Amino acid sequence: ADNLRPEGDFGGVTTSASTFVGPDGERVGLARRPDNIRSEGEFGGVTTTATTYGAKDGERATPVRRADNLRPEGDFGGVTTSASAFVGPDGERVALARRPDNLRSEGDFGGVTTTSSTYVGPNGDRVGLARRPDNLRSEGEFGGVTTSASTFIGPDGERVGLARRPDNLRSEG
């Protein structure tokens, strides 16, 4: 249980709240200082730098092609030693070498093994669907129309006419 209870009258304003009142909260105006940069004399828009270092043409430089110092010496028939010495194959396909196998079956082999006769697999037919008989039987007569079907008949499906409300706005005066 709390043992701190207010004693006496409490109006909601404390001594510190009435004594220490904060500032009004008004915004201080923005102090705009005047600039001290002045242009003296006339200015035509052309500077010394622009006249000294003028704009250059944007033409592409032509590439410099150096002359080589390689000259053929002696006769040259067009066919080198390496070209005549290293002639490739004719391009004909090599015949496929088919080696005969050396696996022979010894003894009598009828085609049926012990494993295949012992372990016969399933025949692969689909299992028939087991249909269980239901145990729900109707007792008594049934006319085909239930109480709920005759009692709760829905609307006949016609569209409801559009209700036009009269205007309640009048120009007075």
Q: Alpha helices of 24-113 — where are they, by DSSP H?
A: 48-52, 81-85
Mean pLDDT of the chain: 79
CA distance 133 to 22: 90
Contacts by 115-121, CB closer than 8 A, 24 or more apart: none
Entry pTM: 0.14
Q: How confident is the model at residue 1 (pLDDT cuts 50, 70, 90)?
A: low
User: Worst-scoring range by mean pLDDT, 81-90, 98-107, 117-126?
Assistant: 81-90
Report, as an integer, the average pLDDT of 111-126.
Answer: 79
Task: Please give the structure tokens belonging to residue 49.
Answer: 């730098």
Which of 32-36, 58-62, 88-92 comes out lowest in average pLDDT? 88-92
* Helices within the chain (DSSP H only): 15-19, 48-52, 81-85, 114-118, 147-151
Long-range Cβ contact pairs of 159-165 (< 8 A, separation 24 or more): none
State the pLDDT at residue 173: 65
* 159/162 Cα distance (integer angstroms): 9
pLDDT tens-digit series, residues 61-98: 889 988 888 887 877 776 677 766 777 767 788 888 98
For the chain, the farthest-separated pair of C-alpha atoms sits apart, in whole angstroms, at 130
What's the whole-number mean pLDDT along residues 48-55?
82
Q: What is the tens place of the pLDDT at every residue in 132-150?
A: 888 888 787 777 767 776 6
